Amino acid sequence: MSVLDAGCGGGRNLVFFLRGGYEVFGIDRNPHAIASVRHTAKTLAPFLPPENFQVSEVEKTSFPDRRFDAVISSAVLHFAENERHFRAMLREMWRVLKPGGIFFARLASSIGIEDQVQTVGDGKYLLPDGSTRFLVDEELLTSETRELGGIWLEPLKTTNVQNMRCMSTWVLKKV
């Protein structure tokens, strides 16, 4: 099984896959994060080439169409600059996902704290924790799922983190 972590950071979400012998890839725009994940991969999965981990923007990768069995995007999409950027990142991850593949995203949403966030424009909001994030809601995720032609593998789930922010989990299968 081939897995891409789009916005992998230092690789904390890849440890299970690295230990399990999966064909693991990661991209992140931060060169220090890629150096860290390469070090982790060298320790846990020395059979993987360091080139599997690349400095790259999520919205513009060098991978071929339908390359991965699974794409993970954990705490990345809420850094979108606006809705166009969000869609560009999402479309790129979907492009590299194989038919039958699994897309897993965890991202900030307004679900459950709608009355506690303040819009700052372009789909970005000031959250009670003081951060500014691009936020999704159920309507946007449902619309994007329909537009992608994806199938929900799990119902949309949202965790409220002490009324400071909400994180939603969006899991789809590519048909």
CATH number at residue 166: 3.40.50.150
Number of compact structural domains in the chain: 1
97 phi/psi in degrees, rounded to 5: -85, 135
Strand 165-174 to strand 97-109: parallel, antiparallel, or no bridges (unpaired)?
A: antiparallel
How many C-beta atoms lie closer than 10 Å to residue 87's C-beta? 15
pLDDT in tens, the chain (175 residues): 999 999 999 999 999 999 999 999 999 999 999 999 999 999 999 999 999 999 999 999 999 999 999 999 999 999 999 999 999 999 999 999 999 999 999 999 999 999 999 999 999 999 999 999 999 999 999 999 999 999 999 999 999 999 999 999 999 999 9
Q: pTM of the full predicted structure? A: 0.96
Return the DSSP state at 43. Answer: H
> Encoding tokens for residue 87?
């869609």
Range of the domain at 88: 2-174
Distance CA 76, CA 58 (A): 9
Phi, psi angles (nearest 5°) of residue 113:
-130, 25
Residue with tokens 């994180």: 167
